[in-house]
Amino acid sequence: TVKRLFSTSHSSVDSKEMKKFQLLAHKWWDEEGEYSALHSMNDIRVPFIRDTLLNMSSNYHLGNPLSGVKILDVGCGGGLLSEPLGRLGASVTGIDPLEDNIRTADQHKSFDPVLAKRIQYRSSSLEEIVEECMETFDVIVASEVVEHVADLETFIKCCSQVLKPEGSLFITTINKTQLSYVLGIVVAEKILGIVPEGTHEWEKFVPPEELQRLLESNGFSVKTVNGMLYNPLSGSWSWMESTSVNYAMHAVKSVAQGQSSPTGALSEMEREQSSATAGAAM
Amino acid sequence: LGHDIHFHDKKIALLEAGPRKEYDRMPDSFSNRVSSISPGSATLLSSFGAWDHVCNLRLKPFRRMQVWDACSEAMIVFEKDDLDDMGYIVENDVIMSALTKQLDAVADRVEVFYGSRAVGYTWPLPSHSCDTSPWVQIELADGRRLQTKLLIGADGHNSVVRKEAEIKNIEHQYDQSAVVATLHLSEATDNNVAWQRFLPTGPVALLPLSDTASSLVWSTSHEHASELLSMDEESFVDSINSAFWSNINHSDFIDTAGAMFRSAISFLKPSGTAVRQLPPSIAKVDSESRAMFPLGMGHATEYVQHRVALIGDAAHRVHPLAGQGVNLGFGDIACLAHHLSAAAFNGSDLGSLKHLLKFETERQRHNVSLIAAIDVLKRLYSTSLAPLVLLRTWGLQATNALPPVKVRI
């Protein structure tokens, strides 16, 4: 089994995808540049992660809300999401298969003495760290990543292995619908240039139902699903009811595995309840 | 900011050119530099515990403000319907002392460098992928170096931060200086009214300090201001009394026109004309309390840049005739603190333009119309030409009669 995980045909890293990001490795931190939409996504994804985690814990300090939390940022790129999470007090490990990205991320964090200690970057794929990081992390964040992986089920299995029991997994990604093709590829890439052309392939987009199915059959319980919308005029993101274009998902690693039917029904109800309250809260 | 919970483990440095000012008891005499603090500013100061110290030291609430013209009988009175205070007259030293006490309370987060001066700033380059630090570097006169993610320029209307950041400033020197002094009233009174009379040379205002003392702010030409400072104390007191009481500048034409308008208003709106109260008369002035400083107007074209924000007089400078200068600054502070606190709670880089621009938009929207209005009022009241006097007489009388407009002011 260990050998199979390491063989490239079952790896979650796609080398074609890596080439796409190589060209833009130094553009990460230009807030007005190619990655501006990801910069402004922080305005909703950081509060989403922060508030979900604060709601689950009873013992935190508002001045340092994520203190003591160990977070793994998979596909961290230039560290756009790792840095704010680090500023909120978390110990972040950011991994990305592309060395140039890690180099950019390391350089950017080096100027801030506080961040330099809280964040560690490694050039690596998820599978490569599984062995040494079993059940190490409280939280895994995979934001705008799963639409680029080659084998989603393997990816999710690895997440489960490095996550502590009852740990949280946060995913943001793009749905596979006609609307997401029009808005996410045609408009975003070809017309408005919000995303560099060729970044996304519609075939690899993941519908939330499919993602949820994969998660729940691998020991996760999905707690929240929320649609996200990007407004190109204002350059800002907001939450929306519909998940037809972008969405965010929060799942928790269940403690006991193998009790799929009763927990399946329970988690259906939980999900409806929590997404209703989350929708009202957002 | 030091008291904000989301700034719990941030570090703030305050560069203060002056010495440390802290008082446990105020001296018997009043300082001649005072400010009119609005209720909104008082709320800001109490949000981090400074207002209590102000109340413990010394302040004078006022309930009513009477503003009238020297060239006519026109008058406007501001008063709150309930028994609330309209505002507070507080000596600047009192505010400084209150702030110093509260700064001490968060000394682990805020470091104050008294008697310091910045001699050089190095701004970060816009492109991020270089080897030099992306933060602002500051060199102090004593050779120490500091670096910061966000530099806030609160260094007054001649702001060095603003100049070094090459932010253009629209400015205009008024041909006026303000004369300040501490005055003693002829007889003790409740003294809870602020008085302001528009003379052709400029507005003269009496701000209450206690039952027996008031502060003078007299904006007038540079020559007249120097005269006022050099004349003996008796003549000075006489000038003040005559400024408030004499009717030299009235002309029959204006008086008649004004009276006609007033009767028209009282016909249409019986409660629209208020009773004119008489200001107190002055008996003597505190020696050595007379001082003068030049007046001007200014507005920075931008309040923010990458890693820089301007607040208070560094961003905008107004004529003291409306008593708003320091309150605009407090408004800037409340707004900037709000946006920085939210940014800190989101884990954002504090110097990022995204939230700084939100602060700028919010404040410019609020400030620009007020700054323009104060400038217009200053110009309108700087003349004794009949048509303009008539215009402002009727305008003032009408405004006095219209509650909705008055409430907005």
Q: Which tens digit of pLDDT belongs to each residue from A150-186?
A: 888 899 999 999 999 989 999 999 898 888 888 888 8
Q: What is the CATH number of the domain that holds A117?
A: 3.40.50.150
Answer yes or no: is A144 within a domain: yes
Reported confidence tier of residue B106, pLDDT bands at 50, 70, 90: confident
- Judge whether B163 and B155 are in contact, CB under 8 Å: no
Chain B contact set for A108 (CB, 8 A): 128
Which residues in chain A are closer than 8 Å to B354, comparing Cβ atoms?
Answer: 31, 40, 43
Asked if residue A181 belongs to a domain, the reply is: no
Residue B17 predicted with pLDDT over 80: no
Q: Are strands B291-300 and B193-199 parallel, antiparallel or unpaired?
A: unpaired
Q: Compute the nearest-CA separation of A226 from chain B (Å).
A: 19
Query: Is A44 inside a domain boundary?
Result: yes
pLDDT more than 70, % of chain B? 82
Judged against a pLDDT cut of 50, whether residue A189 lies above it is answered with: yes
**B7 → closest Cβ in A63, A85, A114:** A63
Predicted-complex ipTM score: 0.77
For the segment B341-364, what is each residue's pLDDT rounded down to a tens digit?
A: 899 888 888 888 889 999 999 999
Domain B5-407: give its CATH code: 3.50.50.60
Query: So what's the pLDDT on residue A187?
Result: 83
Q: Which residue of B305, B348, B355, B356 to mutate against A (max A Cβ within 10 Å)?
A: B348
> In terms of pLDDT, which residue wins out, B283 or A74?
A74
Residue A200 placed within a domain: no
Share the mean pLDDT of chain A. 82
Percent of chain B with pLDDT strictly greater than 90: 4
Q: Does residue A47 fall inside a structural domain?
A: yes
pLDDT band at A278 (very low <50, low <70, confident <90, very high): very low
**CA–CA distance, B123 with B135 (Å, rounded to integer):** 7
Contact assignment for B8 to A84 by CB distance below 8 Å: no
Q: What is the CA radius of gyration of chain A?
A: 18
| pLDDT of B162 over the 60 cut | yes
Joined together, the tokens standing for residue B344 give: 């800190």
Which secondary-structure segment (H or E) carries B206?
strand B202-208
By C-alpha distance, the chain B residue nearest A87 is: B347
Other Cβ atoms within 10 Å of B258 Cβ, number: 23
Asked whether the beta carbons of residue B5 and residue A63 sit closer than 8 angstroms, the reply is yes
Those residues with Cβ within 8 angstroms of residue B259's Cβ, 6 or more apart along the chain or in another chain: B73
* A12/B336 Cα distance (integer angstroms): 45
- What's the gap in Å between the CA of B111 and the closest CA on chain A? 18
The 8-class DSSP code of residue B125 comes to P
What is the spatial distance between Cα B41 and Cα B88, in angstroms, rounded to a whole number?
10
Q: Which of the pair, A134 or A281, is modelled with greater confidence?
A: A134
- What are the pLDDT digits (tens) for A219-254? 899 999 999 999 888 888 999 988 888 999 999 998
Cβ pair B148, B350 in contact under 8 A: no
Mean of the pLDDT values across residues B168-172?
A: 88
Give the SS3 label for residue B136. strand
pLDDT at A262 over 70: no
Q: What is the DSSP string of B39-76?
A: HHHHHHHHHTTHHHHHHHH--EEE-EEEEEESSSS-EE
- Reduced to 3 states, what is the DSSP secondary structure of residue B89? strand
pLDDT for res B250: 67
> Residue A224 is encoded by which pair of tokens?
């929240």
Asked, for residue A235, whether it belongs to a domain, the answer is yes
CA angle B215, B217, B220 (to 5 degrees): 155
- Cα-Cα-Cα-Cα torsion B304, B305, B306, B312, nearest 10 degrees, comes to -40
Interface of A with B in 28-67 (CB under 8 A): 29-31, 40, 42-43, 46-47, 50, 61-65
Domain spans of chain B, in order of start: 5-407
Lookup result for tokens 């400078």: B317
For residues B37 and B166, the answer to whether their CB atoms sit within 8 Å is no
Tens-place pLDDT, residues A84-120: 999 999 999 999 988 888 988 998 888 888 888 899 9
Say how many CA atoms lie within 13 Å of B139 toward its Cβ.
7
- Does residue B340 register a pLDDT over 60? yes
More confident residue, A237 or B201: A237
Rounded Cα distance between A193 and A201, Å, is: 15
> Which H or E element spans position A121?
strand A119-123
From the CB of residue A143, how many other CB atoms can be counted at a distance below 10 Å? Answer: 22
Q: Judge whether A26 is closer than 8 Å to chain B, CB to CB.
A: yes
Distance in angstroms (rounded) separating the CA atoms of residues A228 and A230: 7
In a domain, A37, yes or no: yes
CA distance A163 to A169: 8
* Length of chain A counted residue by residue: 282
The number of distinct structural domains making up chain A is: 1
Q: Specify the 3-state DSSP secondary structure of A236.
A: strand
Residue A249 pLDDT: 93
What is the CA A56 to chain-centroid distance, rounded?
Answer: 19
A30, A31, A63 ranked by CB distance to B8: nearest: A63
The model's confidence at residue A276, banded by pLDDT at 50, 70 and 90, is very low
pLDDT digits (tens, 9 = 90+) for B223-266: 988 888 888 888 888 888 888 887 766 666 667 776 777 777 66
Which site among B4, B6, B127, B128 would you substitute to test the A interface, given the most A Cβ atoms closer than 10 Å to its Cβ?
B128
Its pTM stands at 0.82
- For residue A240, the enclosing domain spans 15-175+205-255
